[in-house]
Every structure is written in structure tokens, then in C-alpha cells.
Structure 1
Amino acid sequence: MKALVFVGLKPGVLDPQGRAIARSLNDLGFDEVTNAFQGKVIELDIEANDPEVVKGRVTEMCEKLLANTVIESYRIEIQA
């Protein structure tokens, strides 16, 4: 199975990389961009057959390593 973990900053946390991206896009003529948010996607290949078990294990991984839960939130997608 494959697990995708999307990690991004929680609302209210400053995102200087996102602001720099938005500003640079505006400088390149993409004036319609009003804001950008920088995050990360982590793709995991997992040997298991039960999606609920995989989701539980990946949640543990996020809480222990993959996301800084003080300032980041995460979303998990499981693909068969």
C-alpha cells in the first residue's frame, strides 16, 4: 500500500517561504496570486493489507517524526 502524508503549517503560523513564493510569482507577472503556502508531501510504501491499520501506523509516524504538531498539521491519504 501507499500512504501520502501532506504536511503544512497550522493557520496563524507565519510562512515566510510561502510569502516569498507569492511575491516572486507576482514579480514574474502572475498578479492573480494573492497568497502561497509552502508544505511537504511524504510518500510511503507500506507492506500491509488493511487500510485502517496503515492509517493508524502512519498517524503514529506523523505524531512522532513526520510533522511538528506544535506548528504543523497533516492529512493522510491511503492508496491500495
Structure 2
Amino acid sequence: GEGGTETGGLVCLYTLKNPGAPERLLHTPTALTSVHLHPTRASVLVGGLTDGSVMFLDARLSRCPRVLISTTSSGKHLLPVS
């Protein structure tokens, strides 16, 4: 971010069965600026990252959730995604 060193972000996934502690922690390469849940599929979310990337997460797989993150390539914007 501005004026400091950028560190990674963290997505914490909770269940109603145990709301006091996250069921899963997923690290992201940069901090998240926004997170949106799929309207009908609770295991799917999309997040915007501070480096301009977009993250797609499908948490149905308990051991290895599917995470896709767009790449930062030349010609794309580098501002946070909100």
C-alpha cells in the first residue's frame, strides 16, 4: 500500500456449526479490498485485491480449495479492485 510494504491478505471461512473459530484460513498474495459471495452457492466467493488482481475461490473441496487469481501483466490497471 501507500507509504509501506504490502503484505499478504487472509480469508477466514467460518461455519454456523462453530462460529467462534474459522474452519479454514486462506492466504492471498496481497490484501483484499472487497469480497462478494455468490448469491446461490455459499462456497463460492470473489475478491478484489490491492494490486488490481481478482481472486475466485471455490471452498467446496475441504483439503485443497480451488483458488484462481488473475495475473498482474502489462497493460492492466494496478489500482485496488473494489
TM-score when scaled to structure 2?
Answer: 0.28
Larger Rg: 1
Structure with a larger share of its residues in helix: 1
